[in-house]
Structure 1
């Protein structure tokens, strides 16, 4: 099958879930099946490659292991430059404009997130790379830009929804809700028993995660195309009003606690371990990468953020290693990518990591217990991460408008909130 044909099929849920299903057996297999290199790499030595990424994303254990392994095996040097999130896009744009030197390799997310970086002019096209056929369908969906495979996904693949404290649910005889109304009833029962229903770190704007319900909206291609061609805005979508109103209702009823405006990422682990909060919008692998408490106390259920009625799970957003095709060290950069994509290497660095597979031959990682426990529920309500990848001008940071609306005390309507979000999106598009 031609790659172009396969790319058109990557949104198919059945194929996505087949990739997830593979992970159920992963922990029973051995990476020893790949006890020697499968691809041709390592003939280039004595080079120094400069890699840019957002701080602290290149400190993930499997990435640092891969970096160390590459330098040990090839005698090449990697200069790792970590840039604060709020400065990353500005720095990359400055390099694209020729104001500062470009890196050889960029670690970034794909889709419309890289649109401003002029991918066709600046990024290498991997569509014919030897490793493309080893990517799961979920992974390919993350890599496609303008019909090309724009980078190598080398990341943990998570499932997002609502993490919930199973002990608290059991104590108050609560079951996983099946509707938006049932979710609010759960929240009310928790409040009546002195438990704050949902920890929401409002100071970390991106953690409002309003893209979860938007994935449902843009399954309608007319809506997605309308947003992208300018014939529709957020404020034209009645369902978006339901989303904004959900946040405001949660705040007004006290379901987010009194300190949600100042709660941040650094407080997530402590909050969920304290027993004072019952739930949090998040992804399953967080319990194994950032949480310092007992992960077994938690399960995962759908995210009930106003829509859809039955809630939703979101598939992963994968970091991509993207190559500057104009680099003076292009051959060395491509050699590095081939190294990362080799089952011999990625199984070594992902061994024991909780993640669904990014590669078909990824046999050393293991699925989270939360995924395995909720597998059937996830299959029914799973959606690819579409809004975040495919809506032009989308930014998680536009949730700042929702936060302002939550605090507006009736001085702002949901429509006005959405109009402000749309204005920010359009302003961003003008700069691209």
Structure 2
């Protein structure tokens, strides 16, 4: 019986792989002829129209639409097509309610939505509401990592137009050199590094715990759900986080870091706004983050920092996480659908995206993205990244996943919380299952 089940699972995986290959091959057959990679794009590659007279409404979470390359892309669209855009930026805490109201028909839907993909859009009923871009010619121009971000129910659900960062641990190279510290190769060596730093009067890790999403527990979780059987059982409700031994290691890691003083005495007061000063001050040696943060938010000397794996209890050798990409998604029921599709074609044109990503620090999202540049941190750690890289899986593929469920970990980290690791994980499981069921319980 067990062999029969395994055979069925292997067959299912082979079928899924064949479907994805067919999808990508079909896209390749539809692709326009593109110049060789590295060549300049001096004229449009795709056909996009000018002056349709339609004003498109775009929704996004504030401040996502403030990113320099997005603002430049929107301005370029208005200039070159003479069409107007109405950009609506919605506070994070209000966005879900606005989207749900639009899905229910209580308010008008936007023409275009800027959102992350995967399970993040599940509650918006993508099959009924979002345009399927599978047959568009630009799909074959997406990198493999980008394709992974766009797929929903076997369809390409949106255009990735974002910086592709690599996440791990930013570390102060000057501090490491001063105290003769090497990049750790496993969890035990990481803790030894923390111990040395604390003895030298340096707080090992800045954790902006007040910004709950920055606990970034998805980094180790990616490695856990790479096992397709584990992911499947989580999504089917057959197991929860509390049933996964590696997840106990993860929450124990946070508590150990707090109890040993490796996060500093007032880590619960640390927030996003303090990240810049903390890393520039030299009082902290490391921070869980992504490489492009050094060039989008950090105001100090980015050259002082390197990128090493994230050691968050598991996997043993540490991990780097691939990017989470914002997607431009089209309301397929829009009265201005043709204009919205024209907008997407415009953004997907190498002639345009190379202009707006010029000199932006990012790994390529498109195969023909030649104007952006990789961060020095990525180039320096490229070989190590190749060995320990994992796609962002948890954030995209676990049903009901939320970074905000790290509030349970934060509660567990407190002295005298009275919670066991199992209690912490059961609380996280409860929040996730309520979310899957469509409940409004929040943290």
Residue equivalent to 1:337: 344
Unaligned runs of 5+ residues in structure 1 are 12-25
Unaligned runs of 5+ residues in structure 2 are 1-15, 25-36
Residue equivalent to 1:207: 214
Q: Is the 8 A contact 2:77 2:343 kept in 1?
A: yes
The TM-score, its normalising length taken from structure 1, stands at 0.93
Matches within 5 A, 1:20-419: 29=38, 33-409=40-416, 411-419=418-426
Q: Is the 8 A contact 2:77 2:346 kept in 1?
A: yes
Q: 1:200 to 1:297 in 2, by over 3 A?
A: same
How many angstroms does 1:221 deviate by? Answer: 1.0
Residue equivalent to 1:15: none
Match of 1:80, SS?
strand
- State the structure with bigger RCO (CA 8 A, min sep 6), 1 or 2: 1
Q: Whole-Å Cα distance in 1 between the matches of residues 83 and 266 of structure 2?
A: 48
Q: Whole-Å Cα distance in 2 between the matches of residues 353 and 265 of structure 1?
A: 22
How many angstroms does 1:6 deviate by? Answer: 7.1
**Residues 205-233 of structure 1: CA deviation (Å, up to 9, x unaligned):** 10000000000100111110000001010
How many angstroms does 1:46 deviate by? Answer: 1.6
How many angstroms does 1:9 deviate by? Answer: 9.5
Match of 2:306, SS?
strand
Q: Is the 8 A contact 2:169 2:308 kept in 1?
A: yes
How many angstroms does 1:4 deviate by? Answer: 8.1
The count of aligned residue pairs is: 413
Residue equivalent to 1:17: none
Q: Is the 8 A contact 1:7 1:140 kept in 2?
A: no
Bigger mean CA offset, 406-415 vs 125-134 = 406-415
The TM-score, its normalising length taken from structure 2, stands at 0.91
Q: 1:302 to 1:8 in 2, by over 3 A?
A: farther
How many angstroms does 1:42 deviate by? Answer: 2.1
Q: Is the 8 A contact 1:10 1:137 kept in 2?
A: no
**Residues 220-260 of structure 1: CA deviation (Å, up to 9, x unaligned):** 11110000001010111111011000000000111111221
How many angstroms does 1:144 deviate by? Answer: 0.1
Within the alignment, does 1:7 sit opposite 2:14 as a pair?
no
**Residues 243-288 of structure 1: CA deviation (Å, up to 9, x unaligned):** 0000000001111112211111111111100000000000000100
Match of 1:306, SS?
coil
Q: Is the 8 A contact 1:7 1:144 kept in 2?
A: no
Q: 1:9 to 1:221 in 2, by over 3 A?
A: farther
Match of 2:334, SS?
coil
Q: Whole-Å Cα distance in 1 between the matches of residues 119 and 186 of structure 2?
A: 32
Match of 1:305, SS?
coil
Q: Whole-Å Cα distance in 1 between the matches of residues 221 and 184 of structure 2?
A: 20
Q: Whole-Å Cα distance in 1 between the matches of residues 387 and 111 of structure 2?
A: 41
How many angstroms does 1:74 deviate by? Answer: 1.0
Q: Whole-Å Cα distance in 1 between the matches of residues 417 and 77 of structure 2?
A: 57
Match of 2:318, SS?
strand
Q: Is the 8 A contact 2:185 2:317 kept in 1?
A: yes
How many angstroms does 1:43 deviate by? Answer: 3.7
Q: 1:244 to 1:4 in 2, by over 3 A?
A: closer
Q: Whole-Å Cα distance in 2 between the matches of residues 9 and 420 of structure 1?
A: 41
Q: Whole-Å Cα distance in 2 between the matches of residues 228 and 322 of structure 1?
A: 24
